[in-house]
């Protein structure tokens, strides 16, 4: 599968390996931004299991990274996609450096505002 030159230029080498399913879909749709595709065709062209593709597309749509009309899917706003990619890469680097966050640990230290006085 090909990637756009901007991704090639801006992404560190280690991040170009083993793309996630959402990344595969975004790259496919970015490469074919003049067309819209049915989910089954996106699955086939990205080697994503057809049973998983609707979940992947739905999550991307929730984040406004793809558009959906009828049975067809197309790429969303390019600026939004670039912003999302930068955020994801920064989060991954921080997780590698400091470890992932533990929700239960956060809850244990959170302020309980239900007991505050009015």
- Domain ranges, residue 22: 5-87
User: How many Cα atoms are found within 13 Å in the side-chain-facing hemisphere of 8?
Assistant: 6
Token match 């998983």: residue?
52
**Mean predicted confidence (pLDDT) in 25-34:** 92
Q: What is the pLDDT of residues 70-108, one digit of tens each?
A: 999 999 988 888 887 777 777 777 777 787 777 787 778
- Helix, strand or coil for residue 4? coil
Q: Inform me whether the pLDDT recorded for 110 exceeds 90.
A: no
* Contact of 100 with 62, CB cutoff 8 Å: no
Residue 68 lies in a domain: yes
Please state the domain count of the chain: 1
Give this prediction's pTM: 0.62
Q: For the chain, how many residues are written?
A: 118
Q: What's residue 19's pLDDT?
A: 75
CATH code at position 59: 1.10.10.10
* 57 in Cβ contact with 25 (< 8 Å): yes
**How confident is the prediction for the chain on average, in pLDDT?**
84
């Amino acid at each position: 599968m090909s990637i756009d030159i901007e991704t090639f230029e801006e992404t560190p080498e280690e991040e170009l390996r083993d793309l996630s399913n959402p990344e595969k879909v975004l790259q496919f749709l970015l490469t074919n931004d003049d067309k819209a595709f049915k989910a089954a065709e996106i699955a086939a062209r990205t080697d994503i299991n057809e049973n998983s593709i609707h979940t992947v597309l739905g999550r991307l749509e929730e984040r406004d990274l793809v558009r959906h009309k009828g049975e067809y899917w197309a790429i969303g706003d390019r600026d939004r996609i670039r912003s999302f990619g930068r955020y994801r890469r920064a989060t991954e680097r921080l997780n590698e450096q400091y470890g992932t966050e533990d929700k239960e640990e956060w809850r244990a230290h959170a302020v309980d505002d239900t007991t505050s006085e009015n």
